[in-house]
Structure 1
Amino acid sequence: MEKKPYYLTTAIAYTSGKPHIGNTYEAILADSIVRYKRQQGYDVRFQTGTDEHGQKVELKAAEKGVTPKEFVDEVSGEIRRIWDLVGTSYDKFIRTTDEDHEKQVQKIFKKLYDQGDIYKGEYEGMYCTPCESFFTTSQLVDGKCPDCGRECTPAKEEAYFFRMSKYADRLIEHINTHPEFIQPESRKNEMMNNFLLPGLQDLCVSRTSFKWGVPVDFDPKHVIYVWIDALSNYITGLGYDVDGNHGELYKKYWPADLHLIGKDILRFHTIYWPIMLMALDVPLPKQIFGHPWLLQGGEKMSKSKGNIIYADDLASLFGVDAVRYFVLHEMPFENDGTITWELMVERMNSDLANTLGNLVNRTISMSNKYFGGVVNNAGVAEEVDEDLKKVVLETQVKASNKMDDLRVADAITEIFTMFKRCNKYIDETMPWALAKDEEKKARLETVLYNLIESITIGASLLEPFMPETSKKILEQLNTQARAFDDMTEFGKYPSGNKVTEKPEILFARLDIKDVMPKVEEIQAKQKAEAAPEEKYPEVEPKEEITIDDFDKVQIRVGEVLKCEPVPKAKKLLVSQIRIGNEVRQIVSGIAKYYKPEEMVGKKVAVITNLKPCKLCGVESQGMILAAADDDGNLSVMTLDKDMPAGSEIC
C-alpha cells in the first residue's frame, strides 16, 4: 500500500546571527514530529532553511565590511551546522537567495499585481527594523513594537500594498469552519480578536529604502518585502510554479500538513500567508502550530546579558540527545518553558542517568551475570508481570495520542513513566534474590526477558526524540527497532538472543560544581563578544530637525516624590514628580526595570509640554526620558549633578 504523504515545515531562520537554543528548539521539535510520522509509516517531507533578505541583513553586512551575500552565506552555513548537530533530519534546506526561489517570488508578486491584489501607494508609519514590520501608532505597545518590544522609528516611503481586506471574510470563515487550522486554540483567539475581527489594514509588500531583497522586476527601485519573499518558501521549495508547471513534489505534498512556527510570527503565518495563498488560488495548509518560547531562567536570551545558551555549548557538556530530551520535555504545550544550566544537570542525573541509563545498564549486566548474556523467555509468569506488560503496551497508544495532538512533552513523559515502571518491576521481582535459588532459574529468565522486551519497546518509542540513544540501546540489546504496529504485542524479542557483554554507560551523572566553571567560561566569552554590540546599538536615524523644532520640546528636571504600580498593568508605574512649584503625575512603562521604591528620590529628565493622556485609565502629565538598548533594556535619564527640581534641560 502506498504511504500517505506528510509535509512539515519550520519557519525559516533569519540570518542575522547564530541561533540560540530557543531558536534551535523549533528544529528539534519539528524533527521529533517527522521522525514519529516516519515511524508511523508516512511518506514524510521535512523542509527548513534560512530567510536571507532584508534591511537588517544589509546593515549587519555593512558593519562587518562584507557584501550581504557573503554575510548570509556565512550565517546560513552556521545555522545549517547547528541543525545538523542536533540531528535534524530535513529533506530540504531552502535558502531565500536560491535562484529558483527568487524567480518564483517575482512571478508571484507580478501575478498578484496584475490581478489587482497589489497596488502602489505610500506608506507612513512606525517601522521596526529587527522585525521588518510597519505599525500604526495604535498598534504599538507602550510606544514599542508589539512583536519584539523594541523601539520603532517613523518611516515614510513609496511602497506596494496587498489588499488584505479583500480576503478577510473568507479567511475568518475558514478559521471558523476549520478549528484545527490554528493551534493552540489560544493563538487562534488572539489572531481573531486582535487582528481579523477589528478589520485588516492593507499590507506593505515592498521597500525602496534598502536594496538587499528580491527586486520587483517591473519596478526595479522596489524590493519585495520580506514576508512575501519568506513565506512563499513553503511552496517554492516543493517546485510550485505560478504558471502552473508545478514539480512532482508540489503535486504530492501540498497542502502542508503542518507549519511549525514560533508564537511571535503567528500573525504572518495565520493571516498574511493564507490570504496570499487565497489570492494565488492555492489550497491552504492544514494546520499552523505556534509553539511557545524557551526562556533562560524566565527571561528572553540576550548577548548583552550574557544569558544566551547555544545548542553546541550544551551538546559539548551534556551530549546531543540530552539536549534534545531537555528542550522537548521541558516545553509546555502553550506556555513558555525555562532552561537553566542547573536544571539541565538535574534532568541529566534524575531522568537520563538514573531512570533510563541505570535501567539499561543493570538489566544487561544481570543478563550477563546470570545467563552469559543469553535472553530466554521461560514462560514462568506471575501476577506482577501482567501490570508491567499492561503499562508497556499502553505506552505506545498513550504516546501516540499525545503526538497526534502535538503534545510532545507529554509523549516523552509517557515513555519515561514506562521506564520508571520497569525500575519498579526490578524492585518487585528482586532478580538478585531469585538468582540465589536454583529452582527459580526459569523465573529469573522470565523476569529478565520481560525487562529486555520492555526496554526494546521503550527504546523504539524513544527514537523520534533521542535517536542516537535509541540506537545505542537497541545495539546493546542486539536487536532492531520495533516497527510501530508491532508494539501492540508483548513478547517479540527473540528468545535465545544474546545481549552485549559490556553495557555502555548511556548518561554519566554530573556534579553542578564541575559544570558551572565551564558555564562561566562560556558566559564570559559571550559578554566579551557582545561588547562591540553594546557600544554600537542599532538605531535607525530619524529625519533631521531644526533648532526651532527642538525648541518646541520642553525638558525639565523632575524629582520623584512617590512611585507605585498602576493597578492591573504589569509594565506601568505611576510617579508623583515635583517640577518647580508643581507636582505632576506621570505614567511610565518601566515596571520591569525599576521597583517603585528605587524611583523615589531620583532626579529625572521629564518632557513637560506633552499633551496629557490616559494609560490604563490613569492620567499621565508628561514623559520621563529613558535610554533603551537593542535587547530592550531600559535606563531612566538622571542627572550627574544635583540640580533643583524644575530646572530646564537645554
Structure 2
Amino acid sequence: MTRVYLTTTIPYVNAAPHLGFALEAVQADVLARHHRALGHQVRLLTGTDDNSLKNVLAAEQAGLPVQDFVDANAAAFAALRGPLALSYDDFIRTSRDPRHRPGVERFWHACADDLYTDTYEGLYCVGCEHYLTPDELDASAHCPEHRTAPQRIAEQNWFFRLSRYAQPLREAIVGGRLRIAPESRRNEVLAFIDAGLRDFSISRSQQRARGWGITVPGDPDQVVYVWWDALGNYLTALDYGTGGEAYRTWWEESDRRVHVIGKGVLRFHAVYWPAMLLSAGLPLPTDILVHDYLTAGGQKISKSSGTPVDPVALARCYGTDAVRCWLLREVPRVGDADFTVERLVERADADLAGGAGNLVNRVVTMAHRYRAGRVPGDAAPLPEAKELVEAIAEAPWIIRAGLADFDFRRAAAAVWTVVDEANGFVERSRPWELAKAERSGDPDAGVRLDAALASLLAACRAVGDLLTPFLPGAAALITTQCTPDPDGALPPPTPLFPRLATA
C-alpha cells in the first residue's frame, strides 16, 4: 500500500494566523484527503515554530512571558482545524512537544562531522531569522522580504559545512530523487547551488537568543539556530529522537515524503534541509511543492506587513466552503494572487450558490415534481448526455493529474466542468417538456424523462464525490441531498448554498 507523509511548514507564532498560511494548510489538506480517497496511508503534519527570536521580541512588546505568549498564538494555529476543515493527523509545537528536543539533539549529533565553530560577522534579518549577504539586499539596503534594515552581528557560532553538499544536492534534484515543483522553483534552487554554497551558522548566543530555544548539545553558551531546530520537526514528530516506529514507518519507508511550503522559505527546505539530511545519512524528501504568496492591495499578506487577513473571521462570516473555494479556485499554480472579500464572495456565489448548489436544487426539485422524489431506475443515457458522461469519467483523472502537478486550480476546475456539463444537459434534455409530453400520453417521453433524471442525479452524486477533497463540507451537503433514504426517496429539495452578496 502506498504510504504518503505530508507536511506544512511550521509558522512563527509572533502573531495570530493569517490567510497566507491558511492557503498552505488547505493545499496540504486537499492532498491528504485526495490520497486517502485513493486508498493510500497518509500522515499529515502541521504545527508551530515556537523557538524564534521574533517570537521573543513580540512577547516583549506585548509585555508577556514568552511561553505564555507563544502558547496563546500556537493555540490559534491549532484551532484552524475547525474553521478551515483541516484533517491533519499530528500537530507539533517546538517549545512544548516532548518529542522535539531529543530529536533535535540526536540530529545534531548525527551531523557532527560537518559541524565546527567559527567567528561570524554579518547582516542578520530577524524577520527571516537568517543572515543576508549585501547582494541580497534591496536598493535601500533592506531585506527585500521584510523591508527592514538588517542588524550587523558579530559572534562565535557553530557552523554547518553546506559547501560540502553542492554536487550531491544537484545530482538529487537533476536526477529526480528530490522533486521541486513548479519547475521555475527547481531552476531557482539549481541556480543558487551553481552560484556556490557557503557554510552557514547554525547557532546563536544565549544572550542574543534571550535564553529561548534549545541549547546546543555540549555547549551551554549557544542555542540551536531556529531554522535547524524548526526543520527538524519533520523528523522529531515521528519520534526520531527515541528511534520510534513512526520514524521508520513514515520517513524511512514512506513512498512519498512531501513538504508543502511557500516560496519565501524555498532555500531552507530545498538546499539547507536536504544537505542536513545527507550529512546525517537520512533519506531526502521526495517532493517539495512550492506555492507563491497571497497579497492584499498588492502587498504580501503577512503578520508583519500590516496587511493580515484573518481566515477564522472570514470563515465565520462567509463560511468554510467559501474560503476554501476561493483559495483553491482563484490561486494560480505560479504567481501571486490578490485577495479581496469581494472576490471571495463572487467566487462562492458563482461556484456554490449559482453553480453546484443551483444544479443540485434544480435536479432534486424535478425528481420530486415528476417522480415523487424517487430515483428513476437504470436507464440508457440519452444521446444528449454524451458530453456529461464523458466529463464525469474524465474528471477523476484530471483531478489526479492536477494534484500530482501541484495545480489546485486545474484540479478543482474539473469538478465545475461536470457542473457546467450537467447544467447544459438540463437545457438540452428539457425535463419539464418531457414531463408535459408524458402527461399528454407520450410513453417515450416518460422513458426519456427517467433517463434524463437518472443521468442528472448521477452527475450530482459525482459532483459530491469529486468535491470531497476540496470542499468536504459542501460535498457532504450535496451527497446527503442526492442520497435516497431506505425507502428510496430523496430528501426534500433544500437550497444548499445561499448567495453571499447580500450577507
TM-score (ref. length: structure 2): 0.93
Distance in 2, Cα, partners of 1:479 & 1:200: 62
Q: Which amino acid aligns with 1:90?
A: Y
How far has the Cα of 1:401 moved from its partner? 1.5
Q: From the superposition, tell whether residues 234 and 380 of structure 1 become closer, same or farther in structure 2 (CA, over 3 Å).
A: closer
* Residue pairs, 1:87-106, within 5 angstroms: 87-97=85-95, 98-106=97-105
The one of 25, 38, 42 aligned to 1:27: 25
Q: Which amino acid aligns with 2:200?
A: L
Displaced runs of 4 or more, over 3 A? 146-149, 302-307
Distance in 1, Cα, partners of 2:432 & 2:463: 23
Distance in 1, Cα, partners of 2:195 & 2:387: 55
Distance in 2, Cα, partners of 1:332 & 1:259: 19
* Residue pairs, 1:222-301, within 5 angstroms: 222-241=222-241, 246-255=243-252, 256-301=256-301
How far has the Cα of 1:136 moved from its partner? 2.2
Cross-structure match for 2:448:
443
Deviates further, 360-369 or 395-404:
395-404
Q: Which amino acid aligns with 1:341?
A: V
The one of 466, 474, 484 aligned to 1:461: 466
Cross-structure match for 2:173:
175
**C-alpha contact (below 8 Å) 2:8/2:260 kept by paired residues:** yes
Cross-structure match for 1:196:
193
Deviates further, 77-86 or 104-113:
104-113
Cross-structure match for 1:308:
308
**C-alpha contact (below 8 Å) 1:477/1:498 kept by paired residues:** no
Cross-structure match for 1:122:
119
Q: Does 1:60 align with 2:58?
A: yes
Q: Does 1:82 align with 2:80?
A: yes
User: Would you say how many aligned residue pairs link Structure 1 and Structure 2?
Assistant: 490
Distance in 2, Cα, partners of 1:127 & 1:147: 13
Cross-structure match for 1:431:
431
Distance in 2, Cα, partners of 1:378 & 1:134: 67
How far has the Cα of 1:43 moved from its partner? 0.5
Superposed CA offset, 1:50-76 (max 9, x none): 000121111111222222111111110
TM-score (ref. length: structure 1): 0.73
Q: From the superposition, tell whether residues 303 and 266 of structure 1 become closer, same or farther in structure 2 (CA, over 3 Å).
A: closer
Superposed CA offset, 1:573-627 (max 9, x none): xxxxxxxxxxxxxxxxxxxxxxxxxxxxxxxxxxxxxxxxxxxxxxxxxxxxxxx
Q: From the superposition, tell whether residues 274 and 445 of structure 1 become closer, same or farther in structure 2 (CA, over 3 Å).
A: same
Q: From the superposition, tell whether residues 136 and 464 of structure 1 become closer, same or farther in structure 2 (CA, over 3 Å).
A: same
How far has the Cα of 1:146 moved from its partner? 4.3
Q: Which amino acid aligns with 1:170?
A: P
Q: From the superposition, tell whether residues 7 and 15 of structure 1 become closer, same or farther in structure 2 (CA, over 3 Å).
A: same
Distance in 1, Cα, partners of 2:306 & 2:144: 24
3-state SS, counterpart of residue 437 of structure 1: helix
**C-alpha contact (below 8 Å) 1:125/1:137 kept by paired residues:** no
Deviates further, 306-315 or 205-214:
306-315
Distance in 2, Cα, partners of 1:373 & 1:474: 15
Identity %: 37
Q: From the superposition, tell whether residues 163 and 146 of structure 1 become closer, same or farther in structure 2 (CA, over 3 Å).
A: farther
* Residue pairs, 1:306-455, within 5 angstroms: 307-377=307-377, 379=379, 381-438=381-438, 439=442, 440-455=445-460
**C-alpha contact (below 8 Å) 1:14/1:52 kept by paired residues:** yes
Q: Which amino acid aligns with 1:343?
A: R
The one of 497, 503, 508 aligned to 2:488: 497
Q: From the superposition, tell whether residues 180 and 297 of structure 1 become closer, same or farther in structure 2 (CA, over 3 Å).
A: farther
**C-alpha contact (below 8 Å) 1:377/1:449 kept by paired residues:** yes
Cross-structure match for 2:499:
509
Distance in 2, Cα, partners of 1:180 & 1:395: 29
- RMSD of aligned alpha carbons: 1.9
**C-alpha contact (below 8 Å) 2:173/2:180 kept by paired residues:** yes
Q: Which amino acid aligns with 1:127?
A: Y
Q: From the superposition, tell whether residues 275 and 179 of structure 1 become closer, same or farther in structure 2 (CA, over 3 Å).
A: closer
Q: Does 1:477 align with 2:482?
A: yes
Q: Does 1:186 align with 2:184?
A: yes
Distance in 1, Cα, partners of 2:128 & 2:77: 19
3-state SS, counterpart of residue 221 of structure 2: coil
Deviates further, 378-387 or 196-205:
378-387
How far has the Cα of 1:141 moved from its partner? 2.6
3-state SS, counterpart of residue 99 of structure 1: coil
Distance in 1, Cα, partners of 2:178 & 2:155: 39
Bigger proportion of residues as helix:
2
**C-alpha contact (below 8 Å) 1:326/1:344 kept by paired residues:** yes
3-state SS, counterpart of residue 324 of structure 2: helix
How far has the Cα of 1:20 moved from its partner? 1.0
How far has the Cα of 1:238 moved from its partner? 1.1
3-state SS, counterpart of residue 124 of structure 2: strand
Q: From the superposition, tell whether residues 220 and 37 of structure 1 become closer, same or farther in structure 2 (CA, over 3 Å).
A: same
How far has the Cα of 1:418 moved from its partner? 0.9
Distance in 1, Cα, partners of 2:181 & 2:67: 36
**C-alpha contact (below 8 Å) 1:478/1:499 kept by paired residues:** yes
How far has the Cα of 1:83 moved from its partner? 3.4
3-state SS, counterpart of residue 376 of structure 1: coil
Distance in 1, Cα, partners of 2:302 & 2:282: 39
Distance in 1, Cα, partners of 2:296 & 2:484: 39
Cross-structure match for 2:44:
46
**C-alpha contact (below 8 Å) 2:20/2:302 kept by paired residues:** no
How far has the Cα of 1:415 moved from its partner? 0.9
**C-alpha contact (below 8 Å) 1:378/1:443 kept by paired residues:** no
Distance in 2, Cα, partners of 1:380 & 1:437: 19
Q: From the superposition, tell whether residues 196 and 303 of structure 1 become closer, same or farther in structure 2 (CA, over 3 Å).
A: closer
Superposed CA offset, 1:518-558 (max 9, x none): xxxxxxxxxxxxxxxxxxxxxxxxxxxxxxxxxxxxxxxxx
* Residue pairs, 1:516-531, within 5 angstroms: none
Q: From the superposition, tell whether residues 479 and 230 of structure 1 become closer, same or farther in structure 2 (CA, over 3 Å).
A: farther
Superposed CA offset, 1:241-261 (max 9, x none): 3xxx52222111115521000
Q: Does 1:112 align with 2:111?
A: yes
Q: From the superposition, tell whether residues 302 and 289 of structure 1 become closer, same or farther in structure 2 (CA, over 3 Å).
A: closer
How far has the Cα of 1:380 moved from its partner? 5.4
Q: From the superposition, tell whether residues 104 and 479 of structure 1 become closer, same or farther in structure 2 (CA, over 3 Å).
A: farther
How far has the Cα of 1:378 moved from its partner? 5.4
**C-alpha contact (below 8 Å) 1:128/1:152 kept by paired residues:** yes
How far has the Cα of 1:309 moved from its partner? 1.9
The one of 148, 155, 158 aligned to 1:157: 155
How far has the Cα of 1:162 moved from its partner? 0.6
Distance in 1, Cα, partners of 2:324 & 2:448: 38
Superposed CA offset, 1:347-395 (max 9, x none): 1222211111100111111111111110113525431122221121111
How far has the Cα of 1:304 moved from its partner? 8.6
Distance in 2, Cα, partners of 1:362 & 1:432: 11
Q: From the superposition, tell whether residues 169 and 302 of structure 1 become closer, same or farther in structure 2 (CA, over 3 Å).
A: closer
Q: From the superposition, tell whether residues 166 and 146 of structure 1 become closer, same or farther in structure 2 (CA, over 3 Å).
A: farther
3-state SS, counterpart of residue 130 of structure 1: coil
**C-alpha contact (below 8 Å) 1:376/1:497 kept by paired residues:** no
Cross-structure match for 2:7:
9
Structure number, greater radius of gyration: 1
Distance in 2, Cα, partners of 1:430 & 1:111: 69
3-state SS, counterpart of residue 187 of structure 1: helix
Q: Which amino acid aligns with 2:136?
A: Q
3-state SS, counterpart of residue 141 of structure 1: coil
**C-alpha contact (below 8 Å) 1:380/1:443 kept by paired residues:** no
How far has the Cα of 1:44 moved from its partner? 0.4
Q: Which structure would you say has the larger RCO, counting Cα contacts within 8 Å and 6 or more residues apart?
A: 2
**C-alpha contact (below 8 Å) 2:6/2:28 kept by paired residues:** yes
**C-alpha contact (below 8 Å) 2:296/2:340 kept by paired residues:** yes
